Amino acid sequence: MGPRMTRCVLPGGVVVVLLALWGLAVQAGKAPLMPSPWQVVVSLGQLAMDGRLVRFTVASLFRVTWGLLWAGVIAIPLGIWLGWSPRAERALGPVLQLLRPISSLAWTPLAILWCGVGDLSAIFIIFMACFGPLMVNTLLGVRKVLSVHLNAGRNFGLSTLGLMRRVVWPSLLPQLLTSLRQTLGVAWMVVVMAEMMAVNSGLGFLILDARNAGNRYDLVVAGMVLIGAVGLGLDALLRSMERIPALSWGFPAPAPSSSTSRFRWMGRN
């Protein structure tokens, strides 16, 4: 069995075993309130037939996309600035460190007060969950840029903007992609909680509504399966982006044996 086949067969085998154990536990009466795997499959079919599966999934993806996008637009430039300028970090660092430990769900009452019940409040909660991790990881990535690369860029006459574009950004990009992958997982978890409190659609709302509608635990578990499946797909998408050479390369540590190889990353010989 080849490596590629092994990567497919082993996870599939684990899933089959877990489904079998799940079904046996339900049949034995060890989990009386737990629906069987077949009941969950039937519920997923019902959600697909009445359109809620696509509608609620798209609603959750919409909120996660905009929350993560706005967090990236603000947190990444801010993290680059704070990582590049110690004076800026000394000025803004205490305030940002004070806000960062506050749970994003603690902002829910203010989000509803400011934005009302709807998409905007959920997007704001997701934004608050994503902002801190993105900013901190960006800041740390800028600080990890090797000084030899910065000094080489200055020797070639690069301005501060040129150093950012030719040195800092390519070195930061691999770590930034990893940070985005982690932050997306956080956003996908937070959107479920936000939809249980601030909106009336989405996968989180589906779970809450199913529980309140006569304890439809088959729909509750179906919603959980959808959340896991979509999260797995999003993570696989970002992992595939990490393998793109133009997005995943960084600056390796310079080889001391060759003085010219240190500058090949700048297109110099």
In tens, the pLDDT along 6-19 reads 666 666 777 787 87
Once rounded to an integer, what is the mean pLDDT over residues 53-72? 92
For residue 250, the model assigns a pLDDT of 53
3-state secondary structure of 156: coil
For residue 197, the model assigns a pLDDT of 80
CA 106 to each of CA 94, 102, 118: distance values in angstroms, whole numbers, following the listed order: 20, 7, 17
Neighbours of 209 (CB within 10 A): 18
Per-domain residue ranges of the chain? 51-252+261-266
Q: Does domain 51-252+261-266 have CATH number 1.10.3720.10?
A: yes
d(CA 205, CA 245) in angstroms, rounded, equals: 39
Phi-psi sector, 268: left (phi>0), alpha (psi -120 to 50), beta:
beta
In tens, the pLDDT along 187-235 reads 988 988 888 887 888 888 888 888 887 678 888 888 888 998 998 888 8
Extract the tokens encoding 125.
């909660």
d(CA 147, CA 163) in angstroms, rounded, equals: 12
d(CA 162, CA 156) in angstroms, rounded, equals: 10
CA 210 to each of CA 20, 83, 119, 213: distance values in angstroms, whole numbers, following the listed order: 25, 46, 20, 5
CA 35 to each of CA 38, 150, 222: distance values in angstroms, whole numbers, following the listed order: 8, 59, 10
Tell me the percentage of the chain whose pLDDT exceeds 70: 84
Q: How is 11-30 classified by DSSP, letter by letter?
A: HHHHHHHHHHHHHHHHHTTS
Output the average pLDDT for the chain: 79
In tens, the pLDDT along 111-144 reads 888 888 788 988 999 999 999 889 989 988 888 8
- Cα-to-chain-centroid distance, residue 121: 19
User: Is residue 22 very low, low, confident or very high in pLDDT (cuts 50, 70, 90)?
Assistant: confident
d(CA 6, CA 259) in angstroms, rounded, equals: 44
Q: How is 199-261 classified by DSSP, letter by letter?
A: -S-SHHHHHHHHHHTT--HHHHHHHHHHHHHHHHHHHHHHHHHHT-HHHH--PPPPPTT-SSG
For Cα atoms 158, 135, 81, give the angle at the middle one, nearest 5 degrees.
30
d(CA 238, CA 184) in angstroms, rounded, equals: 9
For residue 64, the model assigns a pLDDT of 93
